[in-house]
A = this chain, B = another copy of it.
Amino acid sequence: MTPEMDTAHPHSDVNVPARLSVTALGGIPLIKPGDDLVQIILDALDGMGDRLEDGDILVLAQKIVSKSEGRIVDLESVTPSARALEVAEQVDKDPRLVELILSEATEIVRHRKGVLVVAHRCGVVLANAGIDRSNVDQAVGGTDTNVLLLPEDSDASCARLRQDFQNRAGVTIGIIINDSLGRAWRNGTVGAAIGAAGIEALLDLNGEPDLFDRPLQSTQVGLADELAATASLVMGQAGEGRPVVLIRGLERGHGQGRAADLVRPRDQDLFR
């Protein structure tokens, strides 16, 4: 190997910068059950003087998808089961909330005072089955006891929205629904994908060459999760109300996939 080879780069495209733009749309109103998210997003983009392009990724906050799908439940309407009463006692939470959490879950992963981590029906492991009260408009049900559930099937919601954008704007895009999830071992929530369509949610790099042209050993990238986390940076977690993010410029990963691909099968999971 000559000295020059130490610094000359073996892959020529690295001299070209790679760029993404990440834009949280302005002008998205508060979302109510039955709202037409696709039209609202197209209008917001129009108001910004922008329009969707093939290959764009739209990341939607779970809350607006859930609200548009009417996934709001008034705790006053919930009667806790004996099991919910028992768990509620152990975790020190409202038994009606625990009833909803258990009805959304397939398994309790961990519980103790103040903590109820479950596997949601869709496979995602998260606290309280993703149900919460923050940013839920109490006025919709006229009470102070409304909570918001995850979409019934977030991958299906993404596929439907993607098809709608295709039909109504003539563009082929990727759609992700994100939520802020806690993690094992690490403090703080990060945006993660609970639904996806039109994107290789789990991107397989097996066999691609590394910098020195040796094949990479098995490497799978949680691409949809990285996109979801990116969107969270501009959505904000509190009152910002910028629940739709457009990511433009992604070079790879366009294709088929769903957030369910990101769920590690229970029998391969060392951390349940």
Q: Which B residues are in CB contact (< 8 Å) with A229?
A: 190, 225-226, 229-230
The distance in angstroms between the C-alpha atoms of A227 and B232, with both chains bound, is 10
- With both chains docked as a complex, state the minimum distance between the C-beta of A187 and any C-beta of chain B, in angstroms: 5
A89 at the interface (CB under 8 A from B): no
Partner of A9, one of B22, B117, B222, B241: B241
A11 and B240 contact, CB distance less than 8 A: yes
B24 and A17 contact, CB distance less than 8 A: yes
A205 at the interface (CB under 8 A from B): yes
Q: Report how many residues on chain A are interfacial, defined by Cβ distance under 8 Å.
A: 95
Instruction: Provide a sorted-by-A list of 21 A–B residue pairs whose CB atoms are within 8 angstroms.
Output: A6-B30, A8-B30, A11-B240, A17-B23, A20-B22, A22-B230, A110-B271, A134-B214, A186-B192, A187-B220, A187-B262, A187-B264, A190-B225, A209-B238, A210-B239, A211-B239, A221-B232, A221-B237, A229-B229, A230-B233, A271-B271
Where the two chains meet, the residues of A that have a C-beta atom closer than 8 Å to any C-beta of B are: 1, 5-11, 13-30, 32, 48, 110, 112, 115, 117, 124-125, 134-140, 180, 183-192, 202-203, 205, 208-214, 216-217, 219-223, 225-227, 229-230, 232-234, 236-242, 250-252, 261-264, 269-272
